[in-house]
Amino acid sequence: MKKTAVQFDPFKVEQQEWKRRQRRERYKRALTISSPIFVLLLWELLSRTALIDPRFFPPPTEIIKTLVVMSVSGELFQHIWISLYRIFAGFLLGVIPGIIIGLLMGLYSPIRHFVSPLIMALMPIPTLALLPLIIILFGIGDVSKVVTIAGSVFFPVVINTAAGVLNIDGIYLDVAKNYGAGSREYFLKIALPGSLPVMLEGIQMGQAIALLTIVAAEMMGATSGIGYLIWTSYKAFLLKEMFVGLILISFFGYLFSVALRILQKKLLPWR
Amino acid sequence: MSRQPKIIIKHLTKVFYKKESRVKALDRISATIEEGEFVCLVGPSGCGKTTLLRILADLEKESTGSYQIMTGQEDRPLQSMVFQERGVIPWLTVEENVAFGLKMRKLPKSVIKERTAYYLKKTGLTAYASLYPKELSGGMKQRVSIARAFANDPEILLMDEPFAALDEQNKFILQEELLAIWSETKKTVLFITHSIDEALLLADRVLLMSAQPGKIVKEIKVSLPRPRTMEQVRADPDAAAHFIEIRKHLQDEVQASRK
């Protein structure tokens, strides 16, 4: 009796459907949260029961203990600060010229035709392969790491910025021209805001590359930093410390991409 | 009532020259459009209507021939264009879009504010002033485009099928709104359309173009009294005769270009 009443009330029918959709959403969210927890639990279990070698894969709880010990002693923060400093300095040193040259390439076709073969030729060379050269030029101090990061961040930013300007719909150029925009106004009102979405994609890529590069650069010629921590711990067979370094990289990578996504939302309210 | 000529077009020809193809888009177009006149340009698609408008809008250069737009006031822009659907700039708010031309001309802030507010009100956009275009419907976006052109207060207005992408109901509403604003300002308007109804509703005079190469082959005076409504246009026997005449011309052109 009750069932037929539900069947004939369209609101009740849709309410049930809506509840089902809600349940499915909750289920998907639970899946997303549970996968890392599941892997960590499995790892802990396998490591504790020595099904995987605990010397190479120490249990996560042990790694966290090491993380706490290292942060209490202050050793960890030293590595973190120096790495963050290098990442930020290198990031800015790559992004700023990348944006400027990219905009110039997008706006002025003679500049584009002159510069783009150089960029195309240099882009495939991993900056890390140039590290020995960079160390000869800039020494083994911070400058060489900063330059290495800047070199790898520069390319995605310059290419995306130029592409961003070139991909602006032609109709907006017509509007600007028809309504009498001068070159300054054209740059500020059309070229810069119009290229921003693609430019920010490039910066997002640059951010990811900066993290990859810092670790490798610090492995090869450094006496501090997260990359150095990972490398020396590995060589001394202190695998818990090595895993602490890996966790830090993963954490900062996540943090940076979230920060950039927030920035993207703020800068592109019209999307 | 002798009116001054506002736009004089003389033997305007445009050829698009490429490696593989030479296309004559416009063939010795000559026309005179009077001050305050609303002229619709009707022709089959690909007849060069848009090319003619883009030349007048200074977005394209003519191959040979010339045109002249008479100027009255000193500080007025020559022409402003209402573009097809996508002409509203997505990263500017509705208000910034309407003020665009005025800002580009670096008018005093108070003037910009006042004129923008006036045309926002005229087009019913005041409540949407601070929104971005993505939040607007197609009809609202075209209102922004129209407000932007009128706010710029140009010598002549060029409109490139501004209502082509709208649904029927919105189209009727915007056409009447356009006529209301136009009757207040009495701007000279050159309006492209492929809708015969639209041309008969809006125009003082309809210029018919032939298919490629584009030529003006006929002109039709529409003498219906203003203000007009679509009901009047539909009921008027002269307008009905014009409708059939234009329709026949367009069909002949399309047939001829198929051969």
The mean pLDDT value for A47-54 works out to: 93
Can you read off the two tokens belonging to residue B94? 């509705």
* C-alpha neighbours within 13 Å on the C-beta side of residue B10: 7
Supply the mean pLDDT for chain B: 92
Question: A185 vs chain B: nearest CA distance in angstroms?
Answer: 7
Report yes or no on A61 lying in a domain.
no
What residues contact B134, with CB distance under 8 A and at least 6 apart? A270, A271, B90
What's residue A4's pLDDT? 59
Burial-class residue A245 by CB neighbours within 10 Å (0-12, 13-18, 19+): buried
Claim to verify: residue A44 and residue A71 sit in the same structural domain: no
Claim to verify: residue A19 and residue A77 sit in the same structural domain: no
End-to-end CA distance of chain B: 45
Claim to verify: residue A99 and residue A231 sit in the same structural domain: yes
Claim to verify: residue A74 and residue A27 sit in the same structural domain: no
Report yes or no on A16 lying in a domain.
yes
| DSSP letter assigned to residue B214 | B
Claim to verify: residue A23 and residue A87 sit in the same structural domain: no
Domain count, chain A: 2
CATH number at residue A255: 1.10.3720.10
**Residue burial B131-155, b: 16+ Cβ < 10 Å; e: rest:** bbbeebeebbbbbbbbbbbbbbbbb
**CATH number of the structural domain B1-70+156-164+174-179+186-259:** 3.40.50.300
- Give the domain range for residue A133: 67-267
What's residue B257's pLDDT? 77
A69: left (phi over 0), alpha (psi -120 to 50) or beta: alpha
Report yes or no on A119 lying in a domain.
yes
Residues 163-182 of A with CB under 8 A from B: 169, 171-172, 174-182
pLDDT digits (tens, 9 = 90+) for B234-248: 999 999 999 999 999
For residues A231 and A245, give the distance between their C-alpha atoms in angstroms, rounded to a whole number.
9
Claim to verify: residue A19 and residue A78 sit in the same structural domain: no
Answer whether A179 sits within 8 Å of B100, measured CB to CB: yes
What's residue B205's pLDDT? 95
Can you read off the two tokens belonging to residue B7? 């736009």
Asked if residues B90 and B141 have their Cβ atoms less than 8 Å apart, the reply is no
Q: Does residue A253 or residue B74 have the better pLDDT?
A: A253
Report yes or no on A41 lying in a domain.
yes
What's residue A23's pLDDT? 95
- Return the number of other C-beta atoms located less than 10 Å from residue B254's C-beta: 12
Asked if residues A40 and A243 have their Cβ atoms less than 8 Å apart, the reply is no
Taking the domains of chain B in order of start, what are their residue ranges? 1-70+156-164+174-179+186-259, 82-154
What residues contact A90, with CB distance under 8 A and at least 6 apart? A145, A146, A147, A148, A149, A150, A153, A210, A213, A214
Chain A residues close to B100, C-beta within 8 Å: 175, 179, 189
Claim to verify: residue A123 and residue A157 sit in the same structural domain: yes
Claim to verify: residue A15 and residue A89 sit in the same structural domain: no
pLDDT digits (tens, 9 = 90+) for A114-168: 999 999 999 999 998 999 899 999 988 899 999 999 999 999 999 999 999 999 9
The mean pLDDT value for B4-24 works out to: 91
Chain B residues close to A174, C-beta within 8 Å: 57, 59, 81, 83, 87
Claim to verify: residue A157 and residue A206 sit in the same structural domain: yes
Report yes or no on A168 lying in a domain.
yes
What's residue B2's pLDDT? 54
* C-alpha neighbours within 13 Å on the C-beta side of residue B250: 19
pLDDT over 70 at A1, yes or no: no
Asked if residues B132 and B55 have their Cβ atoms less than 8 Å apart, the reply is no
Residue of chain A nearest B98, judged by CA positions: A179
The mean pLDDT value for B113-132 works out to: 95
Residue carrying the six token digits 């966790």: A247
Query: What sign results for the dihedral spanned by CA atoms A131, A136, A137, A139?
Result: positive
Claim to verify: residue A76 and residue A13 sit in the same structural domain: no
Report yes or no on A55 lying in a domain.
no
What ipTM was predicted for this assembly? 0.91
pLDDT digits (tens, 9 = 90+) for A198-221: 999 999 999 999 999 998 899 887
End-to-end CA distance of chain A: 51
Report yes or no on A243 lying in a domain.
yes
Residue of chain A nearest B57, judged by CA positions: A178
pLDDT digits (tens, 9 = 90+) for B137-177: 999 999 999 999 999 999 999 999 999 989 888 899 999 99
Asked if residues A79 and A229 have their Cβ atoms less than 8 Å apart, the reply is yes
Claim to verify: residue A30 and residue A162 sit in the same structural domain: no
**Which residue of A175, A186, A271 is the best one to mutate when testing the B interface, meaning the one whose CB has the most B CBs within 10 A?**
A175
Chain A residues close to B59, C-beta within 8 Å: 174, 177-178
Residue carrying the six token digits 């509703």: B201
**DSSP string covering A39-99:** HHHHHHHHHHTTSS-TTTS--HHHHHHHHHHHHHHTHHHHHHHHHHHHHHHHHHHHHHHHH
Claim to verify: residue A149 and residue A87 sit in the same structural domain: yes
What's residue B53's pLDDT? 95
pTM for this one? 0.86
